[in-house]
Amino acid sequence: MSSLPNEILSHIFEICFLNQDTQNLGCIRPWRDCALSTRLLWSKLSVGLMAGNSWLDRAGQIPLSIDLYYGEPEFDHEALEDVFTPSRNWKAVSLEVYEPTYNPCVQEILEAVLIHAPMLESFSIRLTGIVPSESRTLLVPTRTIEIGFTPRLSTISVHPSYRFRLSLSNVHVYGNIRDLTLRWPKSISHCLHILERCPNVEVLRISLTEEQPPPPRTVVLTLKKLHTLNLCGYVDGAKDFGDFLDGLTTPSLAELTIQVGMTFKSTSPRHWPNLFQLLVRSQPPLKTLTLMGTHMTANTIVDCLRNTPQLTVISGDKELFSPIVMDALTPSLQPLKVALCPMLRVIGVKGEPASLPALTWMIYSRWKLSKQKLSGEIYEVQSPAVDDHQVPRRM
């Protein structure tokens, strides 16, 4: 057999397994290379109830990891009930569920995985099937996800297409959670409550909408270890999600992204002091800032940049690159003028800038000043037209 090339062995291998019962099919070591080169073997994977039981039972008491798409409830329900039993030890669970209507089987899976999981380290669920519309009827809380005894849980990602409620047990602590993704939590108040139970979170990705009436501000939550915040918000009126920022202090924040989508047409700048107040309150060592669709006034953006002296990367849309903001970032020797964000190195332009001449002059002024100081600094510019343009040290 060793004299036959894998190209021939792979065809023999396919003929051997195509009509065989998977439980009776064995693979000796000499077939390993052949199996790896048999494309048909890896092109389709179907795990039925009996094969699934055999597969999972062989792991014994070793914590299990599973990545599963659940799309046909009427066919998969029985198999999933057997897979997700409370007796199994889970290490990592990733679910993508097509759920056009509420499915009790999904709730049973969540309870089996999350109520008592001493070995669980990572949990992710993505719920699809409900297409959000402008009607707010789809944004009412439709599912509660309860997390119980999970002392090793460090990563949570909940990504439904509608609002949800994440219930954390009052008798357990969740200090190990470092990475948290929450899309459409029930409310801003509920989100702040979740973060209060996860005081050591380092990376937070969250999608929010406005809350009316706004949550009462009693205590400002300090997240000492949060270094990355990605906030996506949707606004359909004068009120927005700024109350979430008002409830936080982030002294270690190094990377901040804020993207705002609006369901009503409004292009006029608005007074939005929430980000500025967060930066003043926290004084974080912010290195990277991205602002998209915030529609903040230019003066408010300048106030924010005054509180980010360590900023090295900035990106955004036309509001960020208005003449007023570019002027604040442009240095000058005659007359003497110190620009904001002196450590700025990378500029990302998303969409059409509000003032391309002002942006160009700002970059040239910084390059010219660095050349005169012989500092050897290089500024990078990223835009749709120029992916990576470097202003050289010598012309």
For residues 248 and 278, the answer to whether their CB atoms sit within 8 Å is yes
Angle at 87 between CA 84 and CA 90, to 5 degrees: 60
- Per-residue model confidence (pLDDT) at position 31: 62
- Per-residue model confidence (pLDDT) at position 119: 93
- Per-residue model confidence (pLDDT) at position 188: 87
Blockwise average pLDDT, block size 10, the chain, 395 residues: 67 64 52 63 57 71 80 65 82 84 81 91 86 48 84 93 82 92 88 93 91 67 97 72 91 96 62 91 97 90 96 92 93 86 92 80 89 56 37 37
Q: Dump the DSSP string for 324-372.
A: HHHHHT--EETTEEPPS-TT--EEEE-S--S-HHHHHHHHHHHHHHHHH
User: pTM, whole model, 2 decimals?
Assistant: 0.79
- Per-residue model confidence (pLDDT) at position 51: 66
Q: Is the dihedral of CA 314, 320, 326, 331 positive or negative?
A: negative
Pinpoint the alpha helices (H) of the chain: 6-18, 32-36, 39-43, 49-57, 73-83, 104-114, 188-197, 242-246, 274-282, 298-305, 323-328, 356-373
Q: Phi and psi dihedrals of 281, rounded to 5?
A: -70, -35
| DSSP single-letter state for residue 164 | B
The residue length of the chain stands at 395
For residues 317 and 295, the answer to whether their CB atoms sit within 8 Å is no
298-305 vs 274-282: helix axis angle to the nearest 10? 10
Cα distance between residue 142 and residue 110, in whole Å: 14
- Per-residue model confidence (pLDDT) at position 24: 45
- Per-residue model confidence (pLDDT) at position 47: 58
Classify each residue of 300-328 as buried b or exposed e, where b means 16 or more C-beta atoms within 10 Å of its C-beta.
Answer: bbbbbbebbeebebbbbbebbbbeebbbb
For residues 78 and 48, the answer to whether their CB atoms sit within 8 Å is no
Give me Rg for the CA atoms of the chain.
Answer: 27
- Per-residue model confidence (pLDDT) at position 237: 57
Lookup: tokens for 126 = 């993505």
- Residue 146: name the closest of 119, 106, 88, 178 by CA: 106
49-57 vs 73-83: helix axis angle to the nearest 10? 20
- Residue 205: name the closest of 227, 185, 232, 223 by CA: 232
